[in-house]
Amino acid sequence: MNRPYQRNHDQRNTRSYRTQAALLVVLIALLLSACGNGGNGGNSESSGNGNAAGSASSAAGGASATKPAKDVKLVFWHHYSAASPEEKTLTETLIPKFEQDNPGIKVEAVAFTWEDLHKKLQVAGSTNDLPDVARLDIIWVPELQRSNWLVPLDETFADFGNTTSGLLEGPVSTAKVGEHYYGLPLNTNTKVLFWNEDMLKQAGLSQPPTTTDEFFSALEAVKTANPNAWGYGEPGLYGWNVLPWIWSNGGDVLSPDMSTADGYLNSADSIAIVARLQQAYQGNKLAGFKPGDVPVTEGHAKGSYALIAEGPWAVAQFQGQFTDYKARMVSFPAGKAGSVQVLGGEDIGITNTRHQEESWKFLQFMTSEYAQVEMGKVGQIPVNLAAMDNAEIKAIDYFAPFLEQLKTAKARPPVPAWPQIDEIINTTMSKIFLKNSDVKTELDDAVKQIDALLHA
């Protein structure tokens, strides 16, 4: 998402088992409902680029007692953040463990930014040069499936059902397109509001903003107290970044049936909140998305941005890079429609059939309790049921505000054209903020472009 990942948390006392269990129940219930519409009802056939369904597999996840007749190298493209311990955990803990448990299989992990990975997959798919396995934003799955670049796992592997029975049902559904499943879930997430206590105190505020009106008042107070600081840091202008503001204010990007953006992205509610954000930007009260701006995580820890909206990955990043800084978290500011953040998460899919059996073993390993616990320690909320019940995961108290925010989190529209729609949103918002273009005019134009995609 080209969204810098940032992390920090309150130092809270360890919660009781009862509190942790209650949070787990809340998360499971939420994910069963919020993620249940992951499919787009598109074509479920898989053909082209070597992605036709192969023979069924009966291989179990985890260790393998059988070494392939010839060593196999799996190429795994991902966007785990190098700014946090995620990539280090992958390359120094998980992959060595997988290779130890599966002699004869080696994994070459290739890291990209979120945006670069999406572009790389598009180019590689068009030239028949896809990797064996890829980590996928949940919103990419319908698009990649429509291009026949993903293997239908439930058709290909006989133990698909056994594997998914140990995972949260909601995240599993994010990889379903039509009647088939084209990936396994790796993690789920959302964002909350991080607040710098010292900066707010200097601005005369004892508490973080809980409403949209309080948020904009806080920006003014921070700028007045420190003209060299910004009230809010936002690393991007994609749907991931701006939709929470639009949703919370009662707007939307598409109609409920996902057939049009007209009357939704350019509604009075959408226009109103984007105009308020534009005004704050013109007043030098928010920054972070323009080339050359102070990186949002660093700026929050070092006193440049009083408020940021980020996910659980940000906590591990703060702990690893800014050990003297103590951030605090609260739910995203509520507008007229409440506090609505974006539902995120990643799936893992097989994008090439040359090493299909070995790739499936890697998918099973990455969704196993062991791998999910290790990634949970660095801010990735697990989707493996056993991992969520693991004592080490239960001891991570900073997951609590994210579990609370997940109750009202909303998924981006699961339509194949979403990546293109997302680019339109980014371009439109760039004009509004960086060029101070008229909000209604730009949103009306974006609607025309989006509707043309939807009706193509």
**Which residue has 């529209």 as its token pair?**
413
If one counts every other C-beta atom within 10 angstroms of the C-beta of residue 179, the result is 11
Within a 10 A sphere around the Cβ of 108, how many other Cβ atoms? 12
Res 316: pLDDT: 83
pTM exceeding 0.85? no
How far apart (Å, rounded) are the C-alpha atoms in residues 422 and 428?
10
Please choose, from the candidates 105, 138, 108, 109, the residue with its C-alpha nearest in 3D space to the C-alpha of residue 35: 138
CB neighbour list of residue 334: distance below 8 Å, 6 or more residues apart = 210, 211, 212, 248
- Residues whose CB is less than 8 angstroms from the CB of residue 168 and which lie 6 or more positions away in sequence, other chains included: 27, 28, 31, 32, 185, 188, 383, 384, 385, 388
DSSP letter assigned to residue 84? S
- Could you say which of 3.40.190.10, 3.30.300.30, 3.40.50.970, 1.10.3720.10 is the CATH number of the domain covering 35-189+345-411? 3.40.190.10
Instruction: For domain 192-342+415-454, give the CATH number.
Output: 3.40.190.10
Whether 396 and 11 have beta carbons less than 8 Å apart is answered as: no
Summarize pLDDT for 316-335 with one digit per residue, the tens.
Answer: 889 889 999 988 999 999 99
Q: Which residues contact 257 (CB under 8 A, 6 or more apart)?
A: none
The predicted pLDDT at position 16 comes to 39
Enumerate the domain spans of the chain.
Answer: 35-189+345-411, 192-342+415-454
Token pair of 2, please? 């080209």
Beta-carbon contacts of residue 403 (< 8 Å; ≥ 6 apart): 23, 26, 27
How buried is residue 350: exposed, middle or buried, by Cβ count under 10 Å (0-12/13-18/19+)? Answer: buried
Mean pLDDT by 10 residues, the chain (456 residues): 35 37 43 37 29 33 58 97 91 98 98 95 96 97 96 98 94 93 96 97 98 98 98 97 98 97 98 98 97 95 97 89 92 98 96 94 98 96 94 92 92 93 98 98 98 96
Question: What pLDDT does 66 receive?
Answer: 64
Non-local (6+) Cβ contacts of 111 within 8 A are 78, 79, 80, 82, 87
**Are 35-189+345-411 and 192-342+415-454 the same fold in CATH?**
yes
